[in-house]
């Protein structure tokens, strides 16, 4: 791992992997082996916080892994929140991590969100990449198993060896379409992300989206 950029192990503004609560959380899933620990963390994040696409912030302070950890599980978080938490917990155990972003179209169960945003394009969908056995492996902890069951799609499983990103088809149904890739990042590219949201979602409020957050009680 000598050629790996150490930035993927260090805490930063968003991936606050040195926060005491993040460290304590990560240690609960330490299996003494990086791959086994990473898999345990994936399932803890996937099902410990329900997917809630309505809780979005437009300020940097809204994106701290430790803040996601502090939320009740039923309050949940969107894909970036959960990817951020997984990345931070992994670094706390010495597992290099980074965040990957892409524009996607989710063809299952998003009518309400699309009506609010005015488009079916989900901009800056986020997932996590972990460095295991000498290579980067992608995994997506966004959709909790309960939500997948309700939507009629298979929850993503992950073994720490193969990429686990949302599948294009599930049970013969069009599910996820990847439209544009924004690459991998050691931390959230906040300015680029918010600028893209404002271009694609002109109806967004100028600050934190309290109206979206209020929808959390009915979100997946």
- For residue 183, give its domain range: 6-218
Question: Does residue 145 form part of some domain?
Answer: yes
Helix (H) or strand (E) holding 21: helix 20-28
Other Cβ atoms less than 10 A from the Cβ of 74: the count is 10
The token duo for 65 is 């892994």
In a domain, 1, yes or no: no
Burial class from Cβ neighbours inside 10 Å (0-12, 13-18, 19+) for residue 104 reads: buried
| Contact by Cβ (8 Å): 190, 60 | yes
CATH number of the domain residue 186 falls in: 3.10.620.30
The better pLDDT of the pair 159, 173 is held by 159
pTM of the full predicted structure? 0.88
Beta-carbon contacts of 98 under 8 Å, excluding residues fewer than 6 positions away, are 8, 87, 128, 129, 136, 184, 185, 186
The per-residue pLDDT for range 106-156, each reduced to its tens digit, is: 755 566 767 777 788 889 999 999 999 999 999 999 989 998 888 777 888
**Does residue 98 lie in a domain region?**
yes
Has residue 123 been placed in a domain? yes
Reply yes or no on whether the pLDDT at 56 is more than 50: yes
d(CA 74, CA 50): 6
| pLDDT at 55 > cutoff 90 | no
Task: Please check whether residue 161 lies inside any domain of the structure.
Answer: yes
Instruction: Give 165-188 pLDDT, tens digit per residue.
Output: 865 444 555 567 888 999 999 999
- Token readout for 91 is 């670094």
Number of domains the chain is built from: 1
Which pLDDT score, from 0 to 100, does residue 202 have?
Answer: 81
User: Is there a domain that residue 20 lies in?
Assistant: yes
- The answer to whether position 25 is within a domain reads yes
| pLDDT band, residue 94 (cuts 50/70/90) | very high
> Does 82 fall in a domain?
yes
């Amino acid at each position: 791992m000598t050629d790996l950029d150490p930035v993927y192990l260090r805490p930063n503004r968003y991936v606050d992997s040195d926060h005491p609560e993040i460290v304590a959380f990560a240690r609960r899933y330490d299996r003494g082996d990086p791959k086994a620990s990473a898999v345990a963390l994936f399932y803890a994040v996937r099902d410990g916080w329900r997917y809630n696409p309505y809780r979005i912030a437009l300020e940097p302070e809204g994106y701290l892994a430790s803040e996601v950890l502090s939320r009740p599980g039923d309050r949940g978080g969107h894909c970036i929140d959960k990817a951020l938490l997984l990345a931070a917990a992994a670094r706390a155990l010495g597992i290099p991590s980074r965040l990957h972003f892409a524009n996607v179209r989710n063809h299952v169960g998003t009518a309400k969100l699309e009506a609010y945003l005015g488009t079916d394009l989900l901009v800056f969908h986020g997932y996590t990449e972990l460095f295991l056995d000498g290579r980067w492996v992608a995994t997506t902890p966004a959709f909790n198993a309960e939500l997948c069951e309700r939507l009629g799609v298979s929850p993503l499983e992950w073994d720490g060896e193969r990429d686990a990103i949302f599948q294009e088809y599930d049970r013969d149904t069009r599910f996820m379409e990847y439209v544009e890739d924004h690459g991998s990042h050691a931390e959230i590219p906040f300015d680029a992300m918010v600028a893209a949201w404002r271009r694609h979602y002109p109806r967004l409020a100028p600050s934190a989206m309290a109206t979206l957050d209020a929808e959390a009680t009915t979100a997946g």
